A and B are shown apart, each in its own frame.
Chain A
């Protein structure tokens, strides 16, 4: 369950970064940013492995360069996107609308899938608590 809540929090931040890119599609000198997905997934995988060894149920994730886990929650710093097919236009803006819309769709679908799965987990716990099969 921790896996899902942490992933959902990260995807929420990722949405902000993508929305910022889309908002600045015509802003001169703006360079596209992206969320450090690989960094986050690596942190998550390490935490899962550690929890598997100790048998703990809660995950403790290690802060990395762009993703920090503190008492205030998760803080994600966007990294500069380095897409090899990015075009630098005359106003020094390199945001590709197609790429950002595709990322937006993927992020939204993944968020909805993971949140549905989390909801399913809650419902399974409810079945156990109620001792009644609905």
Chain B
């Protein structure tokens, strides 16, 4: 189920579970992938915050890099949010199944 979520990933954003199916024995479980993704998104957010602080403190003059870092963090977060919404929708759908 997690495979079909992010087939295209040009920026190398963290939510790329790879070709492995989480059900295959020996591969990372979906839970592990999700936890790692959340941690990666958090790292990107921290990077963006550091970049902004450096700009405000005058430690860097490279506005392009700061903007890129902020946009990466934003996209990663939105990505995570979309995945989370899909998971919730899927869970609700399963709840509705009549056994």
Contacts and interface: CB of A to CB of B under 8 A. Distances in A.
Nearest to B45: A124
Contacts of B81: 127-128, 131-133
Interface in B29-83: 52-53, 55-58, 63, 66-67, 70, 73-74, 77-78, 81-82
B52 A133 contact: no
17 contacts: A3-B53, A4-B56, A41-B57, A44-B56, A45-B57, A48-B57, A113-B63, A114-B55, A114-B56, A120-B70, A123-B74, A124-B74, A127-B77, A127-B81, A131-B85, A133-B82, A133-B85
Interface of A: 3-4, 7, 37, 41, 44-45, 48, 113-114, 117, 120, 123-124, 127-128, 131-133
Top 3 nearest A-B pairs (CB, nearest first) are A7-B56, A133-B78, A3-B56
Contacts of A48: 53, 57
Given A131-B81, A133-B82, A133-B85, A120 B55 contact: no
Interface residues of B, number: 17
Contacts of A124: 73-74, 77
A120 B57 contact: no
Nearest to A117: B52
A45 B58 CA distance: 10
A4 B52 CA distance: 8
Contacts of A123: 74
B49 to A, nearest CB: 8
Contacts of A133: 78, 81-82, 85
Contacts of B52: 3-4, 117
Given A3-B52, A127-B77, A127-B78, 5 more contacts: A3-B53, A113-B66, A117-B70, A120-B74, A123-B74
